[in-house]
Amino acid sequence: MSKFYAKTSDEITELEKANLEQVRSYASECMVLLENDGTLPLSEEKKELAVFGNGVRHTVKGGTGSGEVNSRGAVTIEQGLKDAGITITTKDWLDRYDEVLKEAERAYREQLERIAKERNMPVFQASFECQMENPKIPEITEEDLEKTDGDTAVYVLARNSGEGTDRHYEKGDYLLSDEEAAAIHLLGQKFSHVIVLLNTGGIIDATAIKCTPGISALLLVGQSGDVGGSVVADVLYGRKVPSGKLTDTWAVSYKDYPSSAEFSHNNGNVDDEYYREGIFVGYRYFDTFGIKPQYCFGFGRSYTNFSIQTVSVKADEKQVILDVEVTNTGSVYSGKEVVQVYYSAPEGILEKPYQELAAFAKTRLLSPGEKQRMEIRFATTDMASYDTEEASYKLEEGEYLLRVGNSSRNTSVAAVLFLPQTTVVQKLRNAFSDEEQFEELSKKDAVSIHSVNERDQKWDAVKIMLSPRAFETRSVLYQTERVELTNQQPQKKLTLEDVRKGKATVQQLTAQLTVEELATLCVGRFAKEKEGKATIIGTASVSAPGAAADTNDFLFKTRKIPNLILADGPAGLRLQPHFITNGRGQLLDGGQGFGKEMVPFPEKLPKGAKHYYQYCTAIPIATNLAQSWNMPLIEKMGEIVGREMSEYHIDLWLAPGMNIHRNPLCGRNFEYYSEDPLLSGRCAAAGTNGVQSTGNHGTTLKHFAGNNQEDNRMFCNSHISERALREIYLKGFEIAIRESQPYALMTSYNLLNGTHSANNYELLEMCARNEWGFYGVVMTDWCTTMEPSAWLVDKIQYPQASSAGCIAAGNDLIMPGCQKDVDDIVQAVQEGDEITIADLQYCVVHILQSILRCTA
């Protein structure tokens, strides 16, 4: 009989209430005001609104897939406005859209069932490969318009995306559908004030909206979790002031993104993805090549205005310190501002982006006329670039300009640092060679952006001379061969309790285990009767139904080694909200869900059946959180998750996700933070620190690394240069590990320069452990080593990851795993060509250390 930690009452708990209240108090900081002619905020006297769009009643709280949270319920924008006392005059139109959506969902269900039958797969698995398209919205009629006496209309444009499938550059997805464009255009003609709300998890074609005559305001509300509708009402009526800033560059045209032509399915090749833009990702590209964006990185308006003055700049070879004063220059509304510091490195042997984010800080809530002094600092060596030829980070000689402002396109030069000689600040080893060579984008002949006042700004700026000799050159001690552990206490059968009490070490316990035992510990808990098949996400945990998996507890009776419970994220905990056991405490089938697919409970329940409930809070998606640019806020969101982990005894949260927003069409961008690695790393560290401050449980950074495409995600080969990896795609992981030391790291499905991430020794050992100091456990993503036929993939260019290769690379846990993984590992140790028992022991030590950390 399993032990369950869920509640036996479905009444809302005090913890739920507190968490929802806290999310509502903070989520307005995650919304970005893109346009406003003074229409917002609305007057409290304006009690009647005409509200249209597919996101009014069907507001998207977060994306689909394993990142979807099964919460008690979410407040829609319609409900949020009604709760605020607003009369919505467009009920008939919304009813008509309900009928359209109902029919679309019926057709989609039939499509999934047909695909599932043809390919002999579960219906939910078919949903990974076939996302539901947004149905056409009903026409707005004159009768609809005549039902309102007001002068203000709101249009809510919603988009959803999710795991397993990338978005498309087509109408109804990245582009507005013809019906949406016509509706917004009509509203612009008929109403004095038109507010467009973007209920999206990623970038869409905002140009079409901005260019529509009559649009008064454009607000990116994103996907704000369970209380999103309430927060929207708070912001529209000025009860809360939006203070979010974009974490991505919004282009005038999708084709302006340097990866647009070849991304994912765009060029018909989903097997090989060539990161030809190199380090020129996001604003680094737009600024360097002089491409005008629709909205630049870091941009966001407020209901008030601010001035930013750099009071002083100090710098030496250790750090740069800026003293900045921010003033709310408005006369009516309070607000918050984000101070952003960028640096422009000198051109040398290495090409550089025009500018890169160095540091940032957000003010407290400032009343009209109120000032705040802020000290912003960063390490001087953060401005170094990676030289692949010399395998080192170096500061090249020349001028380093420090720019201060409130977005990437609104800064002033505050200081000029002079370095008279190139200096190496860290020596490393190259780790990511690619046999397949490809040409990277070069900035040769590019015309970057340029401020007309830059010459005067440099003249007035603080000048500081740096000494090359004063810089320390750091080096790394790379691990050598793994040494086999020998049994030092053969007369005593050690347990993990002995280790906990200080009577033995983890290494001594590990040395007593057989190859079979070691191999089984390195594989998640799986059902013996399902040999050769991996348990599927959402059905694998024993004590917390709906959690992603448990680690293996087969040695609990003999060695007192318990399992860990792993639950998905990153917008909250993903658990099964309702489950039932029989009179013997055994879990009954039913209640498992994925998206809108739900396994029904038995029609007749057995005698003594018991109901359990696990309702968790859906917090804003990662992109929304990052748009706050508020690290204490993100830490608070982490604390919400951490408290619920304590409530339901979850040990590892499979979050945060922190892959770079390389291209707007990545289907999983909503789970990630930004196009910028510094902002991504800082956000992940803040969330991790929040979670890990609430108990003996931790986060799992994912997906490590180069996982920027969902189409063919299991077998796609990401070709990325060493420099681009180290400066862009790995940098956020490095920052998060150094600043928060997460409990775990999850490898990605894809290959990286020809080697699966889960089998990549250089990635896991050289970088994560040796260079960055990571000491947690490394796990695979789910079913990484499973045969392609199990995914019903007919033709692949690259094979699946190897179980033994995981152990060789230092990928400690294979999740959720199956008997074949154990057998393959044991066979590989016996053959001795690919791995040794020392490799296996090395991984088990990490697993046992993590169990001790979680069960202290």
Are residues 216 and 190 part of one domain? yes
As a dihedral over the C-alpha atoms of residue 200, residue 204, residue 210, residue 212, rounded to 10 degrees, the angle is -100
Q: What is the pLDDT of residues 588-636, one digit of tens each?
A: 999 887 667 678 899 999 999 999 999 999 999 999 999 999 999 999 9
Alpha-carbon distances, residue 328 vs 167, 331, 340, 825 (angstroms): 40, 8, 16, 62
Segment among 280-294, 515-529, 643-657 with least mean pLDDT: 515-529
In a domain, 25, yes or no: no
CA 96 to chain centre: 35
Give residue 534's pLDDT.
Answer: 47
DSSP H/E element including 88: strand 87-88
Q: What is the pLDDT of residues 702-730, one digit of tens each?
A: 999 999 999 999 999 999 999 999 999 99
Give residue 595's pLDDT.
Answer: 67
Q: How far apart are CA 623 and CA 618, in angstroms?
A: 14
Confidence band (pLDDT; 50, 70, 90) for 646? very high
3-state secondary structure 645-676: HHHHCCCEEECCECCCCCCCCCCCHHHCCCCC
Residue 638 scores a pLDDT above 50: yes
Q: What stretches of 574-673 adopt beta strand conformation (E)? A: 578-581, 593-594, 597-598, 610-613, 652-654
Q: What is the pLDDT of residues 233-280, one digit of tens each?
A: 999 999 999 999 999 999 999 999 999 999 999 999 999 999 999 999
Q: How far apart are CA 512 and CA 625, in angstroms?
A: 46
DSSP string across 30-54 = G-EEEEESS-PSPPTT--EEEEEST
Are residues 626 and 609 part of one domain? no
Residues 555-562, mean pLDDT to the nearest whole number: 98
Residue 777 scores a pLDDT above 50: yes
In a domain, 15, yes or no: no
Are residues 757 and 652 part of one domain? yes
User: What CATH number corresponds to the domain at position 198?
Assistant: 3.40.50.1700
Residue 646: CB atoms within 10 Å:
15
Residue 407 scores a pLDDT above 50: yes
In a domain, 532, yes or no: no
Are residues 587 and 567 part of one domain? no
Residue 200 scores a pLDDT above 60: yes
Residue 337 scores a pLDDT above 80: yes
DSSP string across 474-510 = B-------------S-TTS---HHHHHTTSS-HHHHH
Are residues 212 and 295 part of one domain? no
Q: What is the pLDDT of residues 411-465, one digit of tens each?
A: 999 999 999 999 999 999 999 999 899 999 999 989 999 888 899 999 999 999 9
Q: How far apart are CA 758 and CA 770, in angstroms?
A: 17
Domain extent at residue 650: 499-513+559-576+617-854
Residues 11-32, mean pLDDT to the nearest whole number: 98
User: What CATH number corresponds to the domain at position 696?
Assistant: 3.20.20.300
Beta bridge partners of 219: 33, 197
- Report whether 801 contacts 764 (CB < 8 A): no
Q: What is the pLDDT of residues 486-505, one digit of tens each?
A: 998 899 999 999 999 999 99
The residue out of 242, 264, 290 marking a domain boundary is 242
Residue 57 scores a pLDDT above 80: yes
Q: What stretches of 750-850 adopt beta strand conformation (E)? A: 751-752, 755-756, 777-779
Helix axes 14-26, 631-648, angle to 10 degrees: 160
Give residue 532's pLDDT.
Answer: 43
Residue type at position 127: S
Q: How far apart are CA 189 and CA 195, in angstroms?
A: 13
| 644's tokens | 């619920």
Confidence band (pLDDT; 50, 70, 90) for 119? confident
Give residue 795's pLDDT.
Answer: 79
Indicate the number of domains in the chain.
4
CA 134 to chain centre: 24
In a domain, 414, yes or no: yes
Give residue 528's pLDDT.
Answer: 63
pTM of the complete model: 0.97
Residues 285-309, mean pLDDT to the nearest whole number: 99
User: What CATH number corresponds to the domain at position 377?
Assistant: 2.60.40.10
Segment among 129-138, 425-434, 567-576 with least mean pLDDT: 129-138
**Does 831 or 67 have the greater pLDDT score?**
831
Give residue 67's pLDDT.
Answer: 85
- Ramachandran category for residue 832: left, alpha or beta (phi over 0 → left; psi -120 to 50 → alpha): left
Residue type at position 751: L
Q: How far apart are CA 434 and CA 706, in angstroms?
A: 14
Give residue 377's pLDDT.
Answer: 99
Q: How far apart are CA 193 and CA 202, in angstroms?
A: 25
Going by their DSSP bridges, the two strands 565-568 and 652-654 should be labelled as parallel
End-to-end CA distance of the chain: 24
